[in-house]
Structure 1
Amino acid sequence: MTSDTTAWVLEGENASRGTDRPVELNQVTPRRHPGRWIAIVLLGIVVMQVAHNVIVNPNFHWNVFWQYLFAPTVIAGVGWTLVLTVVAMLVGITCAAILVLMRDSDNPILKTLSWVWIWFFRGTPLYTQLLFWGLFAVLFPRLSISVPFGPEILGVPTEWVVSAGVAAVLGLGLNESAYLAEIFRAGFKAIDRGQTEAAQAIGMSRARIWWRILLPQAMRTIIPPTGNETIGMLKGTALVLAVPFTLDLMFATSAIANRIYLPVPMLMVAAFWYLIITSVMMIGQYYLERHFGKGQDYVQTRHI
């Protein structure tokens, strides 16, 4: 019985007895948690001790950290890392959407091709795939259009088309498409099948059903893991040296570290910028989740 219900019962009893004396309710005292405060104090002491040891430790070379934190090559590396992340994610999302449509198709050939794509790119390491794209121009020196098993009609050197930047984007984006395809498929599978059947019953086209019915609802399930994959993609750009792509943040800081023979402060510079970019991405993910979750939050509130 709640406090409001208790007050109503007591007031009813007083009214039946003919008295107007106000009812005194017991004051609820919040439960104390001394253990929490003790844990917070102990944790604060440990954090301050660790922070003090890191700050005063001369081996971290904080002067070098501040010297190169905003160096032009480092800032350029941050920019190229963002470009690689955004473009590779666009490639991955586009390919993943196509793969989902192929998996949902009635054509067994398209279903098989989609399954083989996902099986291959999820089953092989990202670093191996990047190495392959880095060696693509060596394996296939020329891209050409030719008569089957006959002479070449038109061709160009592969290195003109698949440069280091293109190879890095393809390696990251195609690998990511396999993971995103499964995320997208799970998001659409979570939607009640009856909604698709109802939309078909009123004559909506298949494309319109995907765009107006399925996609807005699937975004609630898709966005959180896609945000995690984007953050993983950001950190995965540190592997593009295998291509080799030599403009990203990790290569820029490693080059400076090799020149000054101080790897620790330059690793901290790279870690600082990765944390900043990741934090901004997490904020954006939060607002996207809140936007697409508006209807769901309303339904849950009404249900409660």
Structure 2
Amino acid sequence: MTKTNIKDTPTAEAPEASRIDKVVPLRHPVRTTLSVIFVAFVALGLINVAANPRFEWDVVGHYMFSSQILLGLERTLELTAVAAAIAAVLGCALALMRLSHNRLLNVISAGYVWFFRATPLLVQILFWYNLGALYAQISIGIPGGPGIVLGDANELITPLTAAILALALHEAAYTAEVCRAGIISVNKGQGEAARALGAWVSSEGAGF
């Protein structure tokens, strides 16, 4: 009968850390050297630009913080916030229409997205700004029949209104595709679980 040395036999109670070698991070001398060279070139470029008197940084600072520039910045932020809010609501509605089983709603949404994504934004801004040249008055009603006149086009479509319409309608087309992609990416099993809980969701994500 052979005797076994207990000290040489591994036990299950031994701590896990004692059986794992020390982890040493892998060194990348070439990558580190290239990173240092890149940072040095960027720093030298910034110093060169900052020290060049021909840039006339004092003049740049004077005009950058002038009242006209700050007013333009404020107006830009306002347009961005309003257009983004309108585009978010309209884009979600268009995404649901695109996923709808109703053929008419599907075609309307697809046509809207195609048109506003294919048309340059500058063209849309010019169209809304010059709408008064095509329609002197804006009214709601049957074409060629009676309608309700809302007012003069030049008074209703101001430069600010034209910018909001162009930005919101253009951004809504892209938002619709983002929302539609997010709805489609939901796993089929999660959609079935949501329907089991009474959620208004179909197998394709739309509820109508």
Instruction: Report if TM-score (shorter chain) is over 0.5.
Output: yes
- Say if 1:100 and 1:184, in contact at 8 Å, map to a contact too: yes
2:158 counterpart residue number: 163
CA RMSD in angstroms, aligned pairs only: 2.8
Q: Is the 8 A contact 2:137 2:149 kept in 1?
A: no
Identify if the C-alpha distance between structure 1 residues 29 and 184 changes in structure 2 by more than 3 Å, giving closer, same or farther.
closer
Taking only the aligned residue pairs, the percentage that are identical comes to: 36
Are residues 137 and 32 of structure 1, via their aligned partners in 2, closer, same or farther at CA, if it must alter by over 3 Å?
A: same
Superimposed CA distance per residue, residues 170-193 of structure 1 (whole angstroms, 9 cap, x where no aligned partner): 111111111111111010101112
2 CA distance for matches of 1:43 and 1:68?
A: 32
Of the three residues 68, 75, 81, the one matched with 2:76 is 81
**Bigger Rg, which one:** 2
Q: Report deviation, 1:194.
A: 2.8
Q: In the TM superposition, what is the alpha-carbon distance from 1:32 to its structure 2 partner?
A: 3.1
Structure-2 change in CA distance of 1:146 and 1:56 (3 Å): same
| Counterpart-to-counterpart distance in 2, 1:131 and 1:52 | 42
Q: Which of residues 39, 59, 62 in structure 2 aligns to 1:64? A: 59
Unaligned runs of 5+ in 2: 11-17
Q: Which amino acid aligns with 1:172?
A: L
- Report the TM-score, using the length of structure 1 for normalisation: 0.56
Secondary structure of residue in 2 paired with 1:35: helix
Distance 2:74 2:30 in 1: 46
Structure 1 residues 109 and 48: alpha-carbon distance in aligned structure 2, compared to 1, 3 A threshold? same
Q: When the two structures are aligned, how many residues end up with a matched partner?
A: 192
Cα distance per residue 1:145-191 (max 9 Å; x no partner):
45652455534101221111111011111111111111110101011
TM-superposed CA distance for 1:52, in Å, is 1.9
Tell me if the contact between 2:91 and 2:179 (Cα under 8 Å) persists in the aligned partners. yes
C-alpha deviation, 1:31, in angstroms:
3.5
Is residue 82–residue 164 contact of structure 2 (8 Å, CA) maintained in 1? yes
Tell whether the 8 Å contact from 1:130 to 1:167 is kept in structure 2 after alignment.
Answer: yes
Give the drift of 1:101: 1.6
- Distance in 2 separating the partners of 1:72 and 1:153: 42
Q: Distance in 2 between matches of 1:122 and 1:62?
A: 39
Match of 2:7 in 1: 14
Stretches of structure 1 that go unaligned for 5 or more consecutive residues are: 1-11, 18-22, 215-304
Compare the two structures and name the one with the higher helix fraction.
1
Scaled by the length of structure 2, the TM-score of the pair is 0.80
The CA distance in 1 between the partners of 2:23 and 2:164, in whole Å, is: 61
Contact preservation (8 Å) 1:147, 1:153 = no
Distance 2:131 2:28 in 1: 63
Shift of 1:29: 4.5
Name the SS for the 1:156 alignment partner. strand
Residue 141 of structure 1 aligns to which amino acid in structure 2?
A
Q: Which residue of structure 1 lines up, in the alignment, with residue 43 of structure 2?
A: 48
Shift of 1:26: 6.5
Which residue of 2 is the match for residue 154 of structure 1?
149
Between the aligned partners of 1:111 and 1:123, the Cα distance in structure 2 is 18
Distance 1:125 1:13 in 2: 81
CA distance 1:96–1:25, shift in 2 (3 Å): closer
Alpha carbons of structure 1 residues 56 and 194: separation in structure 2 relative to 1, 3 Å: same
